[in-house]
Structure 1
Amino acid sequence: MSRIRSVATSAQGVNRRTVLAAAGAVSLSAGVGYALRPTDSEAATAAQAPVADSRQTTAETALAPYTKGTTLASVAAPRNSSGYQRLGDGPGWARVVRSELATPKSGRAGRRTTLAAFVQLTDLHLQDVQHPLRGEFLRSNSVHAWRPHEALTVQGAISLVERVNALKGAPVTGAPLHFVMTTGDNTDNNAHSELEWFMKVMSGGRITPNTGDPRHYEGVQNSGLQLYWQPESTARDHDKQLGFPHLKGFLAAAVREVRSPGLDLPWYSTVGNHDSLLLGCYGVHGDPWLAEAAIGGKKLMSVPAAEAKKLQDAIHNATDPHGAGYRDLLKAHARSMRSVTPDEKRALYTPADYLKAHLDPAYQGRGPVGHGYSSANLDAGTQYYAFRISDDVIGISLDTTDPGGMPNGSLGTAQLTWLDKTLKDNKDSYAVVFSHHTSTTMDNTRPDPAHPGDKRVGGAAVISLLSSHANVLAWVNGHVHENVITPHKAASGGRSFWEISTASHVDYPHLGRIIELADNKDGTVSVFTTLIESAAPHRTDFADLSQTGLAALYRELAYNAPGASKALAGAAAARNTELVLHKG
């Protein structure tokens, strides 16, 4: 693949990084975790042509800067000011130039060349909402614990894929897009059913977001419990009292077959705590009782608020990493559980299962094989890797989940050492680091049960390491479900870089992010961030229960979810931005 073209009108210059890459001198370290070519092979020793192959363009379809289809042009916004709020087209979000790490120089737009352009998706939280081990019952204590739109995560994610496929390229530089990276919590509850849906959403295929009885939905939304929105009942449940609609046929529509076109770009995957742990917080692999309960025929749907609070406090205070209190609660309420249809597709998946799904040829889509992971990862039991994005840029995907349990993350020292070596070995390439957790949520340093001697380190150690390498431009992550962009200004002699945290696609405003890297040819680099919504229309029609209609409803229900924060879009300086920093 040729290097991404310059957005300047002059011919592209040749720099040292380009020469080194072309000569094969830029080498990614040999070792576990590398996916350097779009094949499933053992860890390679040298990077050759970039594997993140962009969309092909022709002279007739030359790319140009644009705003349509991004939040620069329009963002979903409420049309009424009280009660249940219907959404429609709202004003876009302007781009903000941030200069905390370097002063922008005039004329840079005419000089710059593009280094890379890609899309980040994060926190899709695809949910098997009928799964026996979900914790909807926590809503008796906290209204945030269950969302009325959760049955539509698959439809919403497909619509986001459709948006990415419709993008004309990079909105600022006009460059082709190289790839899509998901930064974790791709699934919600570590269930095989959810993992299969995620792989098909990303790579394409037909999906029936239903488990248990194939004929109809079995879950909290037709339980008759006032605690949850009962869309097909006329009863005045908790959410209908707030204006939620009565929608006949909603549940049947939510679990019927849908189709994903799959991304028409290569895509890579990063693991999150909800992909690794039950409920995103419990390290329970090997627990036979929970393993059987996951595929069994009983589901707990309600508990007293005091009991829900006790469990939530244990999660919040990180005092029950192996879910003993959760297991005890389920056992104590065995007689009050409701019968559902057992289903082996709901089995909990292991880290090895996660890797095997990515390596499965059935889910290759536009590639690469393994979506970043390789057979070397499977052999070593690791979930981190590096890959070449373009001639001048490498990507590094970390595994920040803590197998010891609880939602926040950390790194093992073995992985930290690998990260340091990878950056040193590729000092002539810029680097973008991907992870699920943010620097501020890497404070969980419980030992890894499988590697008790591998000391865990937190976010401060990662910042310190990244700041010691002159080639790091950005650290891209998720987890907090909010747009936050943080400048990390290094001490004298160190490297400053930007940390870009992107909001989820399960909580409003349901966003993804385009990221562009450009050399301004004046001693600075610009990192452009542009947020996108799904392709579903902003306006909804309660009579439209088609796949697209449900994707639109997914967004509107999320906006109105009781207790939902309206601040997750973040400040203007964390949305559409130009982030300037000095070249390494």
Structure 2
Amino acid sequence: MSRIRSVASSALGVHRRTLLAATGAVTLSAGVGYALRPTDSQAATTTDTAGTASTGTGDAAAEAPVGASRKVPAAFAPYTRGTTLAGVATPRGTSGYRRLGDGPGWKRVVRENLAAAKSGRESRRTALAAFVQLTDLHLIDAQHPLRLEYLRSTDVHAWRPQEALTVPGAVALVERLNALRGGPVTGAPFHFAMTTGDNTDNNCKSELEWFLTVMSGGRVTPNTGDPRRYEGVQNSGLKLYWQADDAIRDADKQLGFPHIEGFLDAAIRELRSPGLNIPWYSTVGNHDAMPLGTYASHSDSYLTDLAVGGKKLMNVSAQDAKKLQDSLKQDKDPRGTVFKDFLKAHARSMRSVTPDESRAPFTPKEYVRAHLNPAHRGHGPVGHGYSTANLEAGTQYYSFRIADDVIGISLDTTDPGGHYEGSIGAAQFKWLDRTLRDNKDSYAIIFSHHTSETMDNLRRDPARPNERRVGGAELLKLLGSHRNVLAWVNGHIHKNVITPHSGSGGRSFWEISTASHVDFPQLARIIEVVDNKDGTISLFTTLIESSAPHRTSFTDLSQAGLAALYRELSLNAPGARSTLAGERKDRNTELVLKKG
């Protein structure tokens, strides 16, 4: 049993927040949930003779505890610079290939669905926490042999022209976050950033390495196969795809897409990420957990051999493509049997590419182990939420302390049985309930990839066939039964949606779903938690774009120029939905709720 749990439950009756202030970072839940800044998460379960949490490496003094709650300075003025309050990339024109330019910002909306906003709260409020959510980065190995680009023959949005530029786009998002001065409402320093899943796209080791390097800092070469040149659908000569370097009149150029000489060479060029200048945490998504985000087929030797091998399918008939897409959407092929038969039937149509072992799929344990690699520590914590206990238990969920008054809980909502919708196992469900009860004197922020409405996949985990799966409705009921839950923050749907939830006994919380960084408008979200000192809590949500300029130049193939082009191409991607920014009430908000 950890120190915090044993002391907090002793006859001395020490108040949990008083104890937390004395001990700094503390263990939350034995087995998978650990302190914010330990060098190794397991080591956080021990304490030194002074009663403070020890890292077990002798560097406890260098590891500062998380920032505590603090009163907002009376003279502090909220800022808007660098956020969508100040300005947003805005399309020019209504048809054809549209350019982007500077546009007006999105105003903040006060939402009182769960509690009334009381006057004078601006001068009373105390900042409890400030953090940033990044979600659905979808870093894409655009040359990977298992990619489903050919589904574009039946669904034009199945392949997107911006997919080769996900890495420079993600680096520009890191640069934007590093340039911010703190919470735009409270001025509080950011405690951390959380990525809420689908950090990779194809569940391949090359993408995982790129993601970890982008987040923690270093050089990235977003290329696999032939180190000298791109080998994929965009230099295939097929009119189905945008042939940016070629003068061929492909389907996208007929819609106004430009001819950009040198585009593919620039797309696979080495670039450098500064890494986030704050601690960051990771939550797993279905694309991180399963090949192509849907197939429970890590052990299938045929698919693995094809992933690392020298053959790639690039074109099939619309009729064949529709059959495969239907099996995906209708959840008829969780283990990839239909997919494997499909590939075998089209083996003669495959084109030769350069083999590459880095395209191999990674298992959940390899995903956790990669996060624990010291080479990817960045500003920490080691493991970015995951610990050696996760490796031993075969889990990908954990808890951590955000601030004196706030804990974070990261869930694994991926279903190992297959398919892109989610659920959680009964053991995780019980652990979540216990963690919330054990930390009832702390406010709680829940993180996951899937939303409440997309957790309807109750297929059993092959490794735990006797374990019941829990869906979104039951999870909502559990969260609504705990007074300390403030918000459930997630992604997956690639759209900004903020939903109020009322639980039992007057309990309530907000579900905050944020748009992806692969589809326009490519946003991340700042969340600030404040105590209004009037019986209410406010959650301020503020959307941010990457640091890339709104205006693009087809001759600027610099790192920043590619990031700007990434955004503009996503706007123009054929079949792209135009509603992903959500309504005004889903963007920049103040979300009010009663204290539990």
**TM-score, normalised by the number of residues in structure 1:** 0.94
Shift of 1:54: 5.9
Distance in 2, matches of 1:35 and 1:280, equals 30
| Code of the aligned partner of 1:560 | N
Q: Secondary structure at the match of 1:470?
A: coil
User: For each residue in 1:482-506, what CA deviation from the matched residue of structure 2 results, as whole angstroms up to 9, or x when unmatched?
Assistant: 0000000123x15200000000000
Structure 1 residues 51 and 306: CA distance shift in structure 2, 3 A: farther
2:297 alignment partner in structure 1:
284
Equivalent of residue 148 in structure 1, options 151, 161, 166: 161
**Do 1:170 and 1:176's aligned partners in 2 also have CA atoms closer than 8 Å?**
yes
Structure 1 residues 174 and 33: CA distance shift in structure 2, 3 A: closer
Structure 1 residues 176 and 298: CA distance shift in structure 2, 3 A: same
**Do 1:208 and 1:256's aligned partners in 2 also have CA atoms closer than 8 Å?**
yes
1:458 alignment partner in structure 2:
471
1:338 lines up with 2:351 in the alignment? yes
Q: Secondary structure at the match of 1:313?
A: helix
**Do 2:27 and 2:44's aligned partners in 1 also have CA atoms closer than 8 Å?**
no
Q: Secondary structure at the match of 1:176?
A: coil
Quote the RMSD (CA, aligned, Å).
Answer: 2.0
1:502 alignment partner in structure 2:
514
Q: How does 1:75-114 map to 2 (within 5 A)?
A: 75-114=88-127
1:173 alignment partner in structure 2:
186
2:5 alignment partner in structure 1:
none
Structure 1 residues 53 and 22: CA distance shift in structure 2, 3 A: closer
Distance in 2, matches of 1:37 and 1:172, equals 26
Distance in 2, matches of 1:388 and 1:172, equals 22
Shift of 1:52: 7.4
Distance in 2, matches of 1:307 and 1:33, equals 46
User: For each residue in 1:416-454, what CA deviation from the matched residue of structure 2 results, as whole angstroms up to 9, or x when unmatched?
Assistant: 000000000000000000000000000001000111111
1:527 lines up with 2:539 in the alignment? yes
Distance in 1, matches of 2:38 and 2:517, equals 28
Shift of 1:44: 4.5
Equivalent of residue 69 in structure 1, options 69, 72, 82: 82
2:17 alignment partner in structure 1:
18
Structure 1 residues 523 and 166: CA distance shift in structure 2, 3 A: same
Q: Secondary structure at the match of 1:279?
A: helix
Q: Secondary structure at the match of 2:541?
A: strand
Distance in 2, matches of 1:78 and 1:505, equals 17
Structure 1 residues 137 and 51: CA distance shift in structure 2, 3 A: farther
User: For each residue in 1:432-481, what CA deviation from the matched residue of structure 2 results, as whole angstroms up to 9, or x when unmatched?
Assistant: 00000000000001000111111101001111111111100000000000
Structure 1 residues 264 and 52: CA distance shift in structure 2, 3 A: farther
User: For each residue in 1:309-341, what CA deviation from the matched residue of structure 2 results, as whole angstroms up to 9, or x when unmatched?
Assistant: 111111111111011111111111111100000
2:34 alignment partner in structure 1:
34
1:484 lines up with 2:483 in the alignment? no
2:570 alignment partner in structure 1:
558
Distance in 2, matches of 1:267 and 1:30, equals 21
Shift of 1:20: 3.8
Equivalent of residue 530 in structure 2, options 518, 525, 545: 518
Q: Secondary structure at the match of 2:42?
A: coil
**Do 1:29 and 1:45's aligned partners in 2 also have CA atoms closer than 8 Å?**
no
Shift of 1:43: 7.1
1:411 lines up with 2:424 in the alignment? yes
Equivalent of residue 126 in structure 1, options 122, 139, 144: 139
Distance in 2, matches of 1:36 and 1:579, equals 26
| Code of the aligned partner of 2:107 | A
| Farther-moved stretch of structure 1 (78-87 vs 456-465) | 78-87
Q: Secondary structure at the match of 2:101?
A: strand
Q: How does 1:378-397 map to 2 (within 5 A)?
A: 378-397=391-410
| Code of the aligned partner of 1:337 | M
| Code of the aligned partner of 2:580 | L
Q: Secondary structure at the match of 1:514?
A: strand
Structure 1 residues 52 and 298: CA distance shift in structure 2, 3 A: farther
Distance in 2, matches of 1:534 and 1:259, equals 15
1:213 lines up with 2:194 in the alignment? no
Q: Secondary structure at the match of 1:275?
A: helix
**Do 1:29 and 1:46's aligned partners in 2 also have CA atoms closer than 8 Å?**
no
Shift of 1:265: 0.5
Distance in 2, matches of 1:184 and 1:494, equals 31
Shift of 1:81: 2.7
Which stretches in structure 1 are left out of the alignment for 5+ residues?
A: 1-14
Distance in 2, matches of 1:21 and 1:129, equals 46
Q: Secondary structure at the match of 1:42?
A: helix
Shift of 1:32: 2.9
Distance in 2, matches of 1:448 and 1:327, equals 21
| Code of the aligned partner of 1:42 | Q
Distance in 1, matches of 2:78 and 2:38, equals 29
1:361 lines up with 2:374 in the alignment? yes
Distance in 2, matches of 1:178 and 1:187, equals 24
**Do 1:469 and 1:494's aligned partners in 2 also have CA atoms closer than 8 Å?**
no
Number of residue pairs the alignment of both structures matches: 566
Shift of 1:35: 4.7
Which stretches in structure 2 are left out of the alignment for 5+ residues?
A: 1-13, 54-62
Structure 1 residues 437 and 294: CA distance shift in structure 2, 3 A: same
| Code of the aligned partner of 1:229 | W
Q: Secondary structure at the match of 1:175?
A: coil
| Code of the aligned partner of 1:126 | L
Structure 1 residues 63 and 247: CA distance shift in structure 2, 3 A: farther
1:429 alignment partner in structure 2:
442
**Do 1:299 and 1:340's aligned partners in 2 also have CA atoms closer than 8 Å?**
yes
2:243 alignment partner in structure 1:
230
